[in-house]
C-alpha cells in the first residue's frame, strides 16, 4: 500500500472550533466567565452603595443584645439574649412547624388520595370536593381564616372552653397539661429506642422470610406490642414517674401547663390541610400509574382489598409518588415563612424581619435566612432521594 493510499483513506481533520466537545468547553467557559463577572459587579456595586451610605458590613451584630421579646420559643429567651440566639429560635420554630406539618400532611394526604379512588361514591366525592376546594384557595387566605375566623373568634380567657384531659381553648391559644418526667425517665427513653430498633429488625426479618417462604408475619401487631411492652417494662422496673402540671385559671390568664399559641396552631392547620390536598393528588396519580394487571393478579391470589393495596399497589406506586412528594415537603417548609403574616415567630419573621429592622444588616440577615432554607431543602431532598433509591424497582 502506498503513502498516497494511506492519506486517501484517513479521515479528514476537523478544525478545533468545529469539534463538538471542544466547542462545549468553550461555551461553558464563556458562561462561567459571564457569571463570575456578574457576581463581581454585584459585589462591587453593593460595596460602593454601602460605603456611600456609611453602612458597615459583617456579622459582629450577632453577639449584640437583641432587646426584643419572642412570645413562643423552644429555647430560654429574654430581652437580654443575643441576635445569634434569635437566629436559633427562628430556626427551631420553623423546624417544629415543618416537621409536625410534614407528618400530619402525609398521613392526611395518603388517606385522601386513597379515599378518592374508593368505590364508595360518598367517600370518593367528599375526598374530591376537599381536594379541589382546598388546593384552589390561596394558602395565605386559609391562614387568615384559621387565625382570625376560628382561633381568634374563641371566647375570652374567663370563658375558656373546657376540653378533655384538663385542656382548655380560648383566644390566647390551647392550654394542655405539661408532663414533667423525673430523672429515672431517661431509662424509658433508652427502652423506646431499643423498641424502635427491634421493630426495624423485625420488619427486615419478616420481609426476608416472606421472600424466601411466601409466609406472612403480622409485623404491625407484633411491632405495636413491642413498642408498648418494652418501654412499659423499662418504665416500671426503673421506678420512673411522670407528673403533670395542669393549667389553672387565675385572675387574668392560665398559669402552669403548656400553652400552644394560636399563631402556631393556625399555621400548622393551614400548612397541613393545604399541603395534604396536593399530596392526595400525588398519591392518586401514583396508584393509578400501577399496571391494572398487578391488581388483577393480586385478586386472583385471593388477597383482600387492604392487603392488595398495602402489599402490591402502594409499594409499586411509591416510585412514582416519592419525587413529587419531595417537592411538597419542600413547599411546606418554605411556606412556613407565611407565618409572619399571622404573627408566628418563625425564622423569616424573627431574623429576616425584627432583627433586620433593628440592626440594618439586610445583606447579612437575608443571606443567613436564605442559607438556612437552602440547607433545609438540600437535606430534605437528600433524604427523600435515599428513600426513593430504596423503593425503586430493581431490574433482574
Give the Cα separation of 158 and 127 in Å (integer). 38
Query: 268-314: per-residue pLDDT in tens?
Result: 999 999 999 999 999 999 888 888 777 777 777 777 777 777 777 88
* Cα atoms in the Cβ-side hemisphere of radius 13 Å centred on 96: 19
Query: 143-169: per-residue pLDDT in tens?
Result: 999 999 999 888 988 888 888 888 899
* Cα dihedral sign, 386-388-390-396: negative
Q: Enter the pTM of the model.
A: 0.82
User: Which strand (E) or helix (H) includes residue 244?
Assistant: strand 242-245
CB 339 within 8 A of CB 267: yes
Q: What pLDDT is stored for residue 52 in this prediction?
A: 77
Q: What pLDDT is stored for residue 10 in this prediction?
A: 53
CB 277 within 8 A of CB 286: no
pLDDT at 84 over 70: yes
Q: Assess if CATH 1.10.3720.10 describes domain 83-182+241-391.
A: yes
* Average pLDDT taken over every residue of the chain: 86
* Residues in Cβ contact with 237 at an 8 Å cutoff, skipping those fewer than 6 apart: none
Give the Cα separation of 330 and 392 in Å (integer). 21
Q: Alpha helix locations (H) across the chain?
A: 3-9, 20-52, 83-116, 121-134, 139-144, 185-213, 219-238, 262-288, 292-300, 305-307, 314-335, 347-349, 356-359, 362-391
The C-alpha cell that represents 69 in the structure block: 421579646
Q: What pLDDT is stored for residue 278 in this prediction?
A: 95
Query: 188-240: per-residue pLDDT in tens?
Result: 999 999 999 999 999 889 888 877 887 778 888 888 899 999 899 988 888 88
Can you spell out the DSSP letters for 107-125? HHHHHHHHHHT-S-HHHHH
Give the Cα separation of 240 and 188 in Å (integer). 8
Amino acid at each position: 500500500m502506498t503513502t498516497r493510499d494511506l492519506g486517501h483513506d484517513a479521515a479528514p481533520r476537523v478544525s478545533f472550533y468545529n469539534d463538538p466537545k471542544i466547542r462545549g468547553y468553550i461555551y461553558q467557559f464563556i458562561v462561567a466567565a459571564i457569571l463570575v463577572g456578574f457576581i463581581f459587579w454585584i459585589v462591587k456595586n453593593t460595596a460602593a452603595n454601602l460605603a456611600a451610605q456609611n453602612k458597615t458590613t459583617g456579622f459582629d451584630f450577632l453577639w449584640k443584645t437583641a432587646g426584643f421579646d419572642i412570645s413562643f420559643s423552644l429555647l430560654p429567651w429574654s430581652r437580654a439574649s443575643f441576635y445569634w440566639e434569635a437566629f436559633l429560635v427562628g430556626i427551631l420554630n420553623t423546624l417544629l412547624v415543618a416537621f409536625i406539618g410534614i407528618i400530619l400532611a402525609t398521613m392526611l394526604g395518603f388517606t385522601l388520595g386513597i379515599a378518592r379512588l374508593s368505590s364508595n361514591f360518598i367517600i370518593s366525592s367528599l375526598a374530591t370536593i376537599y381536594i379541589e376546594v382546598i388546593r384552589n384557595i390561596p394558602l395565605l387566605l386559609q391562614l387568615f381564616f384559621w387565625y382570625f375566623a376560628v382561633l381568634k373568634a374563641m371566647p375570652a380567657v374567663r370563658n375558656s372552653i373546657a376540653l378533655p384531659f384538663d385542656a382548655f381553648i380560648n383566644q390566647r391559644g390551647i392550654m394542655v397539661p405539661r408532663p414533667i418526667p423525673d430523672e429515672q425517665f431517661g431509662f424509658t427513653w433508652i427502652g423506646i429506642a431499643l423498641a424502635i430498633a427491634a421493630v426495624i429488625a423485625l420488619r427486615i426479618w419478616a420481609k426476608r422470610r416472606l421472600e424466601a417462604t411466601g409466609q406472612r408475619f403480622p409485623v404491625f401487631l407484633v411491632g405495636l406490642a413491642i413498642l408498648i411492652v418494652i418501654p412499659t417494662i423499662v418504665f416500671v422496673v426503673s421506678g420512673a414517674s411522670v407528673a403533670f402540671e395542669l393549667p389553672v385559671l387565675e385572675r387574668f390568664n392560665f398559669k402552669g401547663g403548656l400553652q400552644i399559641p394560636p399563631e402556631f396552631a393556625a399555621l400548622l392547620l393551614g400548612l397541613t390541610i393545604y399541603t395534604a390536598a396536593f399530596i392526595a393528588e400525588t398519591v392518586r396519580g401514583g396508584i393509578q400509574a400501577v399496571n391494572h394487571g398487578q391488581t388483577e393478579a393480586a385478586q386472583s391470589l385471593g388477597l383482600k382489598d387492604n392487603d392488595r393495596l398495602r402489599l402490591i399497589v402502594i409499594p409499586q406506586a411509591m416510585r412514582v409518588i416519592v419525587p413529587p412528594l419531595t417537592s411538597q415537603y419542600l413547599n411546606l417548609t418554605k411556606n412556613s415563612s407565611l407565618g409572619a403574616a399571622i404573627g408566628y415567630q418563625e425564622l423569616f419573621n424573627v431574623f429576616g424581619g425584627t432583627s433586620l429592622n433593628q440592626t440594618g444588616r439586610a445583606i447579612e440577615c437575608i443571606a443567613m435566612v436564605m442559607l438556612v432554607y437552602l440547607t433545609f431543602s438540600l437535606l430534605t431532598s437528600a433524604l427523600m432521594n435515599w428513600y426513593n433509591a430504596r423503593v425503586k424497582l430493581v431490574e433482574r
